[in-house]
Amino acid sequence: MPAPNIDTIVSLAKRRGFVFPSSEIYGGLGSAWDYGPLGVELSNNIKQSWWRWLVYDRDDIEGLDSSIILNRLVWKYSGHETTFHDPLVDCRECKTRLRADKIEGKCTNCGSTNLTEPRNFNMMFRTILGAAAEEDDPAALAYLRPETAQGIFINFLNVQTAMRRKIPFGIAQIGKSFRNEITPGNFILRTREFEQMEMEYFVKPDAEHLKLVDEWVEQYLEWFKSLGISSENLHLHEVPAEELAHYSKRTVDIMYRYFPERAEEERQWEELMGIAYRTDFDLRSHSSKPADEEGKRLNSDSTEDLSYFDEATKQRFYPHVIEPAAGVNRTLLAVLMDAYSEKTNDKGEMRVILKLSPQLAPIKAAILPLAKNKPEIVGMAKAIKRSLQPVLRAVYDDTGGIGKLYARQDEIGTPMCVTVDHQSLEDEAVTVRDRDTWEQERVKVAELADYLQRRLKATAPAQPVAATTSLEI
Ligand code: GAP
């Protein structure tokens, strides 16, 4: 049973230290959120899982970490300066600013149809570089990147030559992106600052691009399932031609059921990620060589030709690109919603259990002393915590009675609780309690690390096999 709505997760996330509203002591900042002690662990675990799956388990993908602020010309030639905008309207009655394509001609705040004509609003955040520059100096204008992808395209040749790569191969990057969204909202689903996990997969111009999109869709569905997301809450959306981004010939979105409480099935879904066939648009438009019919260079600023020479066929071409682009924040929200469950204990009290997959759980084992006023028990529990730490993320907690401590760990998704009691001092054994079944087992301290690791592995959803492509690598 997933969370009934996003609000349930907002409240759990704040109460238990996953996500806090940002700048709250100054009244907040619409759509900005801070990741607390458990949120940062969960987010890091998602990013690590992604990196391991793409960069380590496969042999055809390299990693990259490019700058957030790039030369403005990148955004000129990527097309973002002229096309990266949303249609904006104002409600003349209540003065609310709205995205015209999301409201069907009616103000979502007051219901009025008295709206201004739509006008384009560029979503890139602007900034000025240099202490001496004037606010309106076009030479000093720069943007915060609205996608991590461009940092990959402009480094295509660097990576390819430094790592002596042959096509097909990919470049993966995780990092913050920024968009001045007109209507941010729904918690961390749509924010102005967010994190992306993007991969550009470079292939030959005559590859079966549309089929490759399907292959990557299948691989990502497997990856999301390995994070514990149920396939019932995932579905595919083929983006209609008229809604495709300026660079895309085909995009398939993987949607997640973020709004299960909505009556109409089609309004329950929102994009979790997109897989696009970007053609050779970006590499070609960042290159110095391509010219128009009169021989005039299309890019008069670039100093490089980002084409690729295929030794086997002795042909030079601009590689085509398949791009799976996912959001860290949307993945984290989907993971939290899907892991949420409720269970009634034998006293008839409702308990929340976050059934996070063990690889994502912020804490793998909590070490709890049964009596916190007994120094020998506390000492033993702390020593066990320290001995486990190099092997798995463990915490020590004595801030309540054992029932409360168990309930708190269940609510943050800790798969195992280890209790040290009076008996432990004599038999060198502890009680291990399972988050999902609440079953308990007595385990020797000397065997504890191995036992926990084995159990964590056994309860994890299947890992996706090292993904492959139908192309020869
Ligand atoms: N390079 C292609 C690209 O950026 P996109 O569909 O605009 O494609 C990819 O973004 C993913 O980034 C989305 O599927 C979503 O997960 C995440 N994303 C985009 N805008 C977002 C926002 N305002 N807040 C949170 N996540 C966002």
- Which residue type occupies 18? F
Label the pairing between strands 365-369 and 416-420: parallel
CB 326 near ligand 1, within 6 Å? yes
Using CA atoms, how far apart are residues 465 and 57, in angstroms rounded to an integer?
8
7-21 per-position pLDDT tens digit: 999 999 999 999 999
pLDDT value of position 28: 92
pLDDT value of position 466: 66
Q: Residue 310's beta-bridge partner residues?
A: 315
234-255 per-position pLDDT tens digit: 999 999 999 999 999 999 999 9
A 10 A CB-CB count for 49 gives 20
Using CA atoms, how far apart are residues 25 and 336, in angstroms rounded to an integer?
26
Label the pairing between strands 350-354 and 250-256: unpaired
Contact partners, residue 56, CB within 8 Å, separation at least 6: none
Residues in the chain: 473
Q: Quick one: tokens of 89?
A: 């309207």
Choice from 196, 236, 251, 253 to test ligand 1 binding pocket (greatest atom count within 8 A of CB): 196
CB 146 near ligand 1, within 6 Å? no
Q: Residues 116, 120, 123, CA angle at the centre, nearest 5°?
A: 125
> For residue 124, which phi and psi values (nearest 5 degrees)?
-80, 135
Ligand 1 centroid vs 114 CA: distance in angstroms?
31
Ligand 1 centroid vs 35 CA: distance in angstroms?
19
A 10 A CB-CB count for 128 gives 14
CB 149 near ligand 1, within 6 Å? yes
pLDDT value of position 30: 81
Q: Residue 98's beta-bridge partner residues?
A: 89
CB 191 near ligand 1, within 6 Å? yes
Q: Quick one: tokens of 218?
A: 């299948």
Q: Does residue 220 contact residue 235 with C-beta atoms inside 8 Å?
A: no
Atom of ligand 1 lying closest to residue 148 CA: 1
Q: Residue 440's beta-bridge partner residues?
A: 433
Q: Residue 141's beta-bridge partner residues?
A: 128
pLDDT value of position 465: 74
- Going by alpha carbons, the residue nearest to atom 16 of ligand 1 is 327
Using CA atoms, how far apart are residues 77 and 75, in angstroms rounded to an integer?
6
CB 421 near ligand 1, within 6 Å? no
Q: Quick one: tokens of 151?
A: 């940092």
Q: What is the DSSP string of 108-136?
A: TTT----BPPPEEEE-PPEEE-STT--TT
Using CA atoms, how far apart are residues 47 and 43, in angstroms rounded to an integer?
6
> For residue 146, which phi and psi values (nearest 5 degrees)?
-90, -10
- Going by alpha carbons, the residue nearest to atom 6 of ligand 1 is 274
Q: Quick one: tokens of 226?
A: 């390995």
Q: Residues 164, 165, 170, CA angle at the centre, nearest 5°?
A: 145
Atom of ligand 1 lying closest to residue 325 CA: 9
CB 325 near ligand 1, within 6 Å? yes
Using CA atoms, how far apart are residues 148 and 153, in angstroms rounded to an integer?
9
pLDDT value of position 181: 93
Using CA atoms, how far apart are residues 197 and 173, in angstroms rounded to an integer?
6
Q: Does residue 62 contact residue 223 with C-beta atoms inside 8 Å?
A: no
253-307 per-position pLDDT tens digit: 999 999 999 999 999 999 999 999 999 999 999 999 999 999 999 999 999 999 9
Atom of ligand 1 lying closest to residue 330 CA: 16
Atom of ligand 1 lying closest to residue 191 CA: 24
Tens digits of pLDDT across the chain (473 residues): 799 999 999 999 999 999 999 999 999 998 899 999 999 999 999 999 999 999 999 999 999 999 999 999 999 999 999 999 888 999 999 999 898 988 889 999 999 999 999 999 999 999 999 987 787 788 899 999 999 999 999 999 999 999 999 999 999 999 999 999 988 999 999 999 999 999 999 999 999 999 999 999 999 999 999 999 999 999 999 999 999 999 999 999 999 999 999 999 999 999 999 999 999 999 999 999 999 999 999 999 999 999 999 999 999 999 999 999 999 999 999 999 999 999 999 999 999 999 999 999 999 999 999 999 999 999 999 999 999 999 999 999 999 999 999 999 999 999 999 999 999 999 999 999 999 999 999 999 999 999 999 999 988 888 787 667 788 76
Q: Does residue 54 contact residue 323 with C-beta atoms inside 8 Å?
A: no
End-to-end, the C-alpha distance of the chain in Å comes to 41
Element (H, E) at 103: none
Q: Residues 284, 288, 290, CA angle at the centre, nearest 5°?
A: 55
pLDDT value of position 467: 65
Choice from 153, 330, 333, 335 to test ligand 1 binding pocket (greatest atom count within 8 A of CB): 330
- Going by alpha carbons, the residue nearest to atom 13 of ligand 1 is 273
Element (H, E) at 2: none
Ligand 1 centroid vs 186 CA: distance in angstroms?
14
| Residue 168, preceding peptide bond in cis (omega within 30° of 0) | yes
